[in-house]
């Protein structure tokens, strides 16, 4: 058998599809391997390049294969699709593995850095916290809606809801009957449990941010708190993959969509590509920076105040659309996070890294 130089792998739950080629791009192996024999098959292979889509369990398998001496690269699925024969109309495991193998050979292909178990552990905290927050929001909305059916209307805001919810449920003057009242009380108990769970995750994330040197430096960026710093450090494995802050902004999906042609530039809303969670945290932090800019005297804050004085940062009455637009622009200060993660100290003091504000 000719020496294998590159292998494309289509990962799955139980069966992995292999597509291997030699230095002359001739197909050497094309077969399916059960999960139990996956690592042992590569253990008997000379070190080579192994490519996989960045999907479920990809980081785990990448670490396993890297420990065997192979060079492992993870490719975003959207970059693999153009190389699949048959396009979007024909898809199977063999074609997917072949497409992964072909995509890995491209000289300008972009790859996903492999995360360590520690980084993935931190991201587990963030994912579980997000899930509990979503469950809490859904539960609160359900309680509001059910109470409204009996003519019990609650004030807006979580704090005010905490103050009045039990009082309204236990009020004997409303139309709530015994079974409905008991069911709603159970809902309140569940809400309290969810709040306790979220508080536990907040403490764990804060502990990670406080002991991680990179997260501590990230918190010096305006609008970046413990939650954002912890998520950024765990998500951005290697900031050296970005040549500048604009590349990181594009990776996060906070640059305008382009539909340009014929020499005419047509820019739309932001692309919203990349990591939704980190982008949301940066956006919320940017909103915080905009709303508190008048309290600070750094260069960025003076620029924001100048825009406010010109009327370019005013709520339009439609959920603050214009302010949100400029907050997205401020969120591109995520480029400062990139510089912190790259440990480039000359960024400190030029106005891009400024004292933090209260933010996520």
CA dist 37 and 169 (Å) reads 58
Phi, psi of 315 (to 5 degrees): -65, 135
Phi, psi of 197 (to 5 degrees): -65, -45
6-104 has which CATH code?
A: 3.30.420.40
Average pLDDT over the chain, rounded to an integer:
86
Token digits for 101?
Answer: 């193998």
DSSP at 313: S
pTM of the model: 0.85
CA dist 325 and 323 (Å) reads 5
Q: Which of 156, 181, 28, 190 is closest to 101 using CA atoms? A: 28
CA dist 328 and 200 (Å) reads 30
* pLDDT per residue of the chain (360 residues) written in tens, 0 to 9: 579 999 999 999 999 999 999 999 999 999 999 999 999 999 999 999 999 999 999 999 999 999 999 999 999 999 999 999 988 788 999 999 999 999 999 999 999 999 999 999 999 999 999 999 999 999 999 999 999 999 999 988 899 998 889 999 988 888 888 899 999 999 999 999 999 999 999 999 999 999 999 999 888 887 889 999 999 999 998 888 888 778 888 888 888 888 888 888 888 888 888 889 998 998 888 888 888 888 888 887 888 888 888 876 655 444 444 445 445 554 555 666 666 666 544 443 333 433 344 455
CA dist 83 and 109 (Å) reads 12
Instruction: Report helix angle 245-252 to 276-291, nearest 10.
Output: 120
CA dist 274 and 284 (Å) reads 17
The gap from C-alpha 85 to its chain's centroid, in whole angstroms, comes to 30
| Terminal-residue alpha carbon distance, the chain | 56
CA dist 358 and 360 (Å) reads 7
Q: Which of 206, 223, 212, 220 is closest to 125 using CA atoms? A: 206
Beta strands in the chain (DSSP E): 6-10, 15-21, 27-34, 49-53, 71-75, 256-258, 267-270
The residues, any chain, with a CB within 8 Å of residue 226's CB and separated by 6 or more, are 205, 206, 209, 210, 215, 219
Token digits for 187?
Answer: 């809902």
Q: pLDDT (tens digit, 9 = 90+) per residue, 28-66?
A: 999 999 999 999 999 999 999 999 999 999 999 999 999
DSSP at 237: S
CA dist 360 and 352 (Å) reads 19
CA dist 238 and 227 (Å) reads 19
Measured from the Cβ of residue 93, the count of other Cβ atoms closer than 10 Å reads: 16
């Amino acid at each position: 058998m000719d020496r294998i130089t590159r292998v494309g792998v289509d990962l799955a739950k139980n069966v992995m599809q292999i597509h291997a080629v030699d230095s002359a791009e001739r197909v050497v192996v094309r077969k399916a391997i059960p999960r139990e024999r996956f690592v042992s098959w590569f253990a008997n292979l000379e070190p080579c390049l192994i490519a996989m889509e960045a999907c479920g369990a990809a980081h785990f398998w990448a670490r396993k294969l890297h420990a065997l001496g192979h060079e492992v690269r993870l490719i975003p699925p959207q970059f693999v699709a153009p190389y699949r024969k048959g396009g979007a109309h024909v898809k199977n495991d063999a074609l997917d593995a072949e497409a992964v193998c072909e995509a890995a050979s491209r000289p300008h292909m972009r790859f996903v850095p492999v995360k360590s178990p520690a980084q993935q552990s931190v991201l587990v905290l963030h994912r579980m916290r997000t899930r509990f927050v979503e469950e809490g929001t859904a539960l609160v909305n359900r309680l509001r809606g059910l109470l409204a059916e009996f003519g019990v209307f609650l004030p807006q805001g979580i704090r005010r809801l905490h103050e009045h919810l039990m009082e309204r449920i236990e009020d004997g003057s409303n139309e709530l009957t015994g079974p409905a009242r008991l069911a709603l009380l159970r809902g309140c108990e569940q809400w309290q449990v969810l709040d306790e769970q979220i508080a536990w995750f907040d403490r764990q994330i804060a502990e990670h941010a406080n002991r991680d040197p990179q997260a501590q430096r990230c918190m010096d960026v305006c609008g970046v708190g413990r939650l954002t710093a912890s998520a950024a450090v765990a998500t951005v494995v290697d900031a050296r993959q970005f040549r500048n802050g604009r590349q990181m902004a594009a990776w996060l999906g906070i640059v305008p969509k382009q539909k340009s042609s014929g020499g005419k530039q047509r820019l739309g809303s932001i692309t919203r590509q990349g990591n939704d969670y980190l982008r949301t945290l940066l956006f919320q932090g940017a909103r915080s920076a905009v709303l508190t800019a008048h309290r600070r005297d750094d260069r960025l804050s003076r620029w924001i105040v100048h825009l406010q004085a010109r009327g370019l940062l005013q709520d339009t009455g439609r959920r603050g659309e214009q302010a949100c637009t400029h907050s997205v622009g401020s969120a591109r200060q995520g480029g400062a996070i990139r510089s912190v993660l790259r440990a480039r100290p000359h960024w400190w003091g030029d106005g891009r890294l400024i004292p933090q504000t209260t933010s996520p």
